[in-house]
Amino acid sequence: MSEQPEAFACAYKRKENEMRRPRPARAITLTLTALLTLAVVLLTAGCSGSAPPPPPTATPAPSTATPAPSTATPAPSTATPAPSTPTATPAPPTATPAPPTARPAPPTATPAPPATPTPSANLTGGCIDDFSPSVDYFPQKSSPEFAGNFTIEYHKSYKLLTVKEPFTGGSPRSYLLAQCGAPVPQLEGRWANAPVIRIPVETIFTGSTTHLPMLAALGRVDSLTGVAQTGYVSSQPVLDRIAAGLVAEFAPTFEIDAEVVIEASPGVLLASDAGPSQAHDTLANAGIGVVWNGEWLEETPLGRAEWLKMVAALFNEEAKANEQFENIAGSYNALAQKTGGIPEAQRPTVMTGLEFGGVFYASGGRSFAAQLIDHAGGSYVWADDDGSGSIETDIETQLERAGDADFWINAGAFWHTLSDVAGADERYTHFKPYKTGQIWTNNLALNDAGANDYYERGVTRPDLVLADLISIFHPSLTEERELQFYKQLQAP
């Protein structure tokens, strides 16, 4: 039960009890205003057991005249009047008011941090500071166009390098090149056990001098800390590092000294051997990354030079490799175009090689030397041979096939005069090039230690080799220039 009806009932009960009490002889006339005032007082006081206040001691005499209604408004009561019970339930509103617009719900998840920006260039030094699996850390990529013996597959934070034939008859070798600062991916299949090499590598050992010009082209000679044999180095910047004690010699007798390599702990050892050895296994077990470089098995001059891109992948220097190789290939192709239209009848015949141990060794008909001769506007005497390596024959067969050749190139590495030729084997004097003085050796760039730059810089710069040969076969097609690798043997 609500409080207001209960208070009203108490007031009514009190009034009823009061009227039943004995009253004075004179009747008291109560106005409607007085009754209402009394009800308010009783309601305010609550329904208690206390007696009502005593009646006045004297009753005023009633007025003989009907009192005039008061013109003054009675003062309002200081107590809050109790609300009266409504006589009827008010009708409900005809329309339900629209609820207030709801406030937007607070976010249920913490906003994601801003995405890591994609780098505009490969990281060529140091590691990733804040790895993100969605970022491509190799925006600069390379792919071989002329080389057929290696492939590179790019992923966001790692590369998959494959050397198809690391050495003659060898099975493919695979390497996982993982960006420093990124987790090493868990791969399957043939990649599950692939050696992991952190890139960019900081230090490197090279097993062949053909790798040195590649480091120079990439501006990474300062990363070189070991070479197989120091006596075969031609590059002056490398010789300076050797003299300063910054480069170790790890195979002076052509056998790898594993202790020297392990002590230096290079990031990578570029292997260029006839096949694997126990030393290679020892290095791999010690955590040294042994990467086989099979550039010498390529069949084209530009194919060999393009291994610059493979070496660049170890340093994240793809941008430099692309630029350098584009210049080399552009120069080479421009030179080859000068001789491409020379008819066969106007092409001089060319022979190569020399006799050793009773066997005459000449370049195969599909070798890179044979292709250089063709691109230089010559006609190779063994062009009908399908081999890309060396031809093994005897000097009599060679004399029969090439006795009337116009030029003899790539002859004895240590021949400096025609007397050296006759002294090596009297039968050489029967070849036409000996008689006409057209024997050209590729030993012009020998240093004091006997190192030959033809077998070093000539691999990375076949355009310079081609320019030399065009100058020899067709001097009118080239501007006057100094030869880089070849020299003509003179009479003593």
Structural domain count, the chain: 3
* More confidently predicted of 196 and 91: 196
Rounded mean pLDDT of 389-413? 95
- Is the residue at 464 inside a domain? yes
Which CATH number is 299's domain given? 3.40.50.1980
Same domain for 376 and 310 = no
- Is the residue at 57 inside a domain? no
Phi, psi values for residue 235, rounded to 5°: -60, 125
Residue 131 in this model has a pLDDT that exceeds 70: yes
Instruction: Report the percentage of the chain scoring pLDDT > 70.
Output: 76
Same domain for 345 and 323 = no
Same domain for 303 and 264 = yes
Instruction: Report the percentage of the chain scoring pLDDT > 90.
Output: 71
Same domain for 404 and 364 = yes
Phi, psi values for residue 323, rounded to 5°: -65, -45
Per-residue confidence (pLDDT) for residue 412, from 0 to 100: 86
Same domain for 354 and 273 = no
Distance from chain centroid for Cα 214 = 21
Same domain for 276 and 376 = no
- Is the residue at 297 inside a domain? yes
Spatial separation of the C-alpha atoms in residues 240 and 165, rounded to whole Å: 34
Query: Pick from 327, 355, 388: which residue ends a domain?
Result: 327
Per-residue confidence (pLDDT) for residue 429, from 0 to 100: 97
| 16: enclosing H helix or E strand | helix 3-20
The secondary structure of the chain in percent helix, strand, coil, rounded to multiples of 5, reads: 35, 15, 50
Q: Output the average pLDDT for the chain.
A: 84
How many CB atoms sit inside 10 A of residue 185's CB? 15
425-443 confidence digits (pLDDT tens): 999 999 999 999 999 999 9
Query: Pick from 288, 303, 327: which residue ends a domain?
Result: 327
Per-residue confidence (pLDDT) for residue 114, from 0 to 100: 64
Same domain for 445 and 365 = yes
Closest CA to 229 of 489, 452, 2, 462: 452
- Is the residue at 268 inside a domain? yes
- Is the residue at 122 inside a domain? no
Most confident of 72-76, 81-85, 312-316, 408-412: 312-316
Per-residue confidence (pLDDT) for residue 275, from 0 to 100: 85
330-384 confidence digits (pLDDT tens): 999 999 999 999 999 999 999 999 999 999 999 999 999 999 999 999 999 999 9
Same domain for 379 and 308 = no
Query: Pick from 266, 296, 327: which residue ends a domain?
Result: 327
269-291 confidence digits (pLDDT tens): 999 888 889 999 999 999 999 99
Per-residue confidence (pLDDT) for residue 74, from 0 to 100: 42
Q: Which residue has the tokens 């005032």?
A: 37
206-257 confidence digits (pLDDT tens): 999 999 999 999 999 999 999 999 999 999 999 999 999 999 999 999 999 9
Per-residue confidence (pLDDT) for residue 83, from 0 to 100: 45
Residue 28 in this model has a pLDDT that exceeds 80: no
Q: Residue 29: give the domain boundaries.
A: 3-45
Per-residue confidence (pLDDT) for residue 447, from 0 to 100: 87
Per-residue confidence (pLDDT) for residue 7, from 0 to 100: 43
Same domain for 171 and 283 = yes
Q: Nearest-5° angle of CA 288, CA 294, CA 295? A: 125
Per-residue confidence (pLDDT) for residue 274, from 0 to 100: 80
Between helix 307-315 and helix 318-339 the angle, nearest 10°, is 170
Instruction: Using pLDDT thresholds of 50, 70 and 90, give the confidence band for residue 16.
Output: very low
Same domain for 380 and 287 = no
| Separation in Å, CA 391 to CA 355, 360, 379, 408 | 11, 8, 17, 16
Q: Which of 107-111, 324-328, 459-463, 465-469 has the lowest mean pLDDT?
A: 107-111
| 355: enclosing H helix or E strand | strand 354-356
Q: Which of 103-117, 222-236, 330-344, 466-480 has the lowest mean pLDDT?
A: 103-117
- Is the residue at 72 inside a domain? no
- Is the residue at 288 inside a domain? yes
Contact (Cβ atoms closer than 8 angstroms) between residue 81 and residue 45: no
Same domain for 401 and 306 = no
Residue 93 in this model has a pLDDT that exceeds 90: no
- Is the residue at 182 inside a domain? yes
Contact (Cβ atoms closer than 8 angstroms) between residue 412 and residue 354: yes
Same domain for 423 and 359 = yes
Per-residue confidence (pLDDT) for residue 413, from 0 to 100: 85
Per-residue confidence (pLDDT) for residue 290, from 0 to 100: 97
Instruction: Using pLDDT thresholds of 50, 70 and 90, give the confidence band for residue 321.
Output: very high
Per-residue confidence (pLDDT) for residue 71, from 0 to 100: 43
From the number of C-beta atoms within 10 Å of its C-beta (0-12, 13-18, 19+), residue 61 rates as: exposed
